[in-house]
Every structure is written in C-alpha cells, then in structure tokens.
Amino acid sequence: MNTTPSSLPLAGYRVLDLTIARAGPTAVRLLADWGADVTRLEAPPPKDRGSVTGRRRGSDEQNLHRNKRSLCVDLKTREGAEILDRLIARSDVVVENFRSVVKERLGLTYEQLRQRNPRIILASISGFGQDGPYAGRPGVDQIVQGMSGLSSVTGEPGRGPVRAGIAISDTTAGMFLGQGILLALLHRERTGEGQWVHTSLIEGMLNKLDFQAARYTVNGEVPGQEGNAHPTQVPMGTFEASDGQVNICASTQTMWAGFCRALEATHLADNADYREFAGRVQHRRRLDAEINAVTRQFSVAELVKRLNPAGVPCGPVYDIGQAFEDPQVQHLRMTRPAQHPVLGDVQLIRSPINLSACPHPERFHHAAPDPGEQTDALLAELGYTPEAIAALREAGAAA
C-alpha cells in the first residue's frame, strides 16, 4: 500500500504550533507524522532568540519539526495579530507552552479562543502545571528529573543522583499531550465541543515512575538506587560476558530453571538459598556475583544464543550506533528519509506506532523547514494577495 499524507488518520485536521523547546514540538510531531496539516508559527529570524534545540538544519531540529510548515510573523505588530486571528479561525488544534500572562496578552487562553472558534482545542504544556505555587516557574527536563524523584532511583547505590541520558520528562510530557489531543478530537467528533487539554513535565514524569511511584503511594516505601539491577525482580540486570556485557532476566521460577540449564549452572540450581524467589531476593548480592562467575565463561553472542531459546530474555548492551545496525532494528526500518533542499536526504526516526490500515509512508512528506520557508504560501492560503504579502514583509510583520 502506497500511503500518502492525505490517506493518513489525521489528514484534514489543521494544527497551529506555537511551541518552543522540546516537549511541545514532540506532541505536534505525533500529529504531523500521522497526516495533520501543521503550521509552525515562529518569530522572524532577526528577532528570534534562537532555539534550545540547535540550528534548524541540525539533526535535532530536523527530527523534531519534519512534516511541518513554517510561517514567520511578528505577533507584537497589529498585522501579526490579525494573521494569528486568521490562523486560529481555521485551526482545529492550537498547541502552546507560553506562561499564563503571555497567553492572556496574546489572546490565547481557552476562553478567548473559544469565542473566536467554538470547536477549537487548546493544548498546553508547561513545566509544573497551569496553576499552583510553581505554575510560574520555568521548567526544563533536568530540573524535573530531579524534582520528580527520577534522578534518585537512577545510578549506582551511594553515588548520588544521575540524570537519564535522554530528555525523558520533555518527551514523556509531549507524548502524553499528543494523546490528550487525540482524546479531545474524539470527544469533539461526538459532541462538537472543543476543550482545553493540558499537561506538564512534572505530571508526565510522576506518571512515568509507574511501579516505583506505586511502591511509595501504596506501601509507603521510598525506592532507592539499584544501578543496573532491577529494583524488585531477581535476578535481572547487567552481567559480564567474556567480551562485553549483557542484560539478563531470569526472575521467574521457569526462567531461573531455564537459565541454570542453558548455562549448565547446576551448582546454582541446587543451592537451597536460590531455590525460591524469596531466597534469591534475600541473597541477591551474592547471587549476582555467582551469576557473573558463570556468564564470564561465555561471549555475548553465546549467551544470547543459549538463553533466549531457553525462554530467558537476554540481550547485548549496545551503543546507539550498534542499536540502529542491529538486524531486528534494520528489519523494522525505524528510519525514513526526508528530502531537504540543502541537506539532501536526511534519515529521521519514524513514529513507533504501527497501523495495519495506514502503513508508514516510505518518505516523510517534507523535511523540517527553515524559519519562514512557507510564509508566502501560508499567507496566500489565509487570503492575503501578493501585494498584501509584500506589504507585510516590508512592514516587518512577516518574514
């Protein structure tokens, strides 16, 4: 099936992207990848203070802003405010991450928007929520990793907090906001009503803590650092091979028996201390050391080959390059090309969602645009004549 943007699930929906940084663009990227017509409204380049994600032609922004179109407008001008009004009137979704005072000044609160477009969905993302004692604080990923407790359970015991190696709270909040937008669109299909959807980095990260959070909320237990060992399942963690490291999960009775058989570790299978799960938990440190003594006798490839057929999950510890070159990842084709007029074909990371009725397009519709790359075309769609567009550019209201 040759999937085109017009055949994707969100084709026909118009999204106005007013976001900066990473969390908001992550939400919008979900919509753009599945066919939404996304207009990214940006400040004219001379007044743009830059982007924390780097230059637009860099790898990060190419990956964040593919399948979007860019319109540069100075919202502080009267003409810029009129352009924003026209965009809002035709949009299904407006996505933003402004502070509340800026939202109100620009006329972008939900109450202000619904007066102009009753079906509008406003999607907002912030560091700490739309109200409350921290609502006015700036929120970035590393701050939230610390404040959510994530850093306290990451890293080796006793060596202090460690940040996750990716912008986990940004991308988590962005994914949740994208889901919220889809829920609001479904609600609108039934009721005809728009609504305000919002989330924050702190809400997304607290939810992402999942079973670690429930250990506290249900049992009053404050989890700590366990390094590469699983916090509650034993044995599960990173173990040594003769030529590297592997991750192994042998936490159930069946898996533990399969592990001992596959590696001919009868001394572990016969040890009364390790016979039941409770004993393996109680003697965890000693058990891990004994497992390492066994696994060091095999290469990474040998461990993977022996353990997986025995029903014991086992995998190598890759760097990112090795991960993308792995045969299974190559089979899944986790990248797709996007044609850039200057960079040529750039390989970007596709959505991880797979739909049988809408296979991933063979190519992204277009690469991330330079700021203002589609200004003239988008203004024409809004009803501006070539002469009016030239006047807007001359006045500095558009670029």
pLDDT digits (tens, 9 = 90+) for 303-314: 999 999 999 999
CATH number at residue 298: 3.30.1540.10
Domains identified in the chain, total number: 2
Q: Name the residue range of residue 173's domain.
A: 5-208+333-395
Which residue among the candidates 37, 74, 141, 170 is catalytic per the annotation? 170
Specify whether 170 is catalytic. yes
Residues 340 and 309 in one domain: no
- What is the reported pLDDT for 46? 72
Residue pair 45/22 in contact by the 8 Å Cβ criterion: no
- What is the reported pLDDT for 47? 61
- Model pTM score: 0.95
Tokens of 357: 């009725």
Residues 306 and 166 in one domain: no
Query: Which residues pair with residue 240 across a beta bridge?
Result: 245
Amino acid at position 192, single letter: G
User: Which whole-number Å values give the CA distances from 133 to 125, 128, 136, 139, 206, in the listed order?
Assistant: 16, 9, 8, 13, 17
Residues 295 and 341 in one domain: no
3-state DSSP assignment of residue 348 = strand
Residues 100 and 244 in one domain: no
- What is the reported pLDDT for 212? 98
- What is the reported pLDDT for 200? 98
Residues 242 and 374 in one domain: no
DSSP 45-72: GGG----TT--TTSHHHHHHHTTEEEEE
CATH number at residue 157: 3.40.50.10540
What residue has token string 């004993």? 279
Residue pair 233/250 in contact by the 8 Å Cβ criterion: no
pLDDT in tens, the chain (399 residues): 667 888 999 999 999 999 999 999 999 999 999 999 999 999 998 765 556 555 899 999 999 999 999 999 999 999 999 999 999 999 999 999 999 899 999 999 999 999 999 999 999 999 999 999 999 999 999 999 999 999 999 999 999 999 999 999 999 999 999 999 999 999 999 999 999 999 999 999 999 999 999 999 999 999 999 999 999 999 999 999 999 999 999 999 999 999 999 999 999 999 999 999 999 999 999 999 999 999 999 999 999 999 999 999 999 999 999 999 999 999 999 999 999 999 999 999 999 999 999 999 999 999 999 999 999 999 999 999 999 999 999 999 999
- What is the reported pLDDT for 167? 98
Residues 49 and 169 in one domain: yes
Residues 295 and 355 in one domain: no
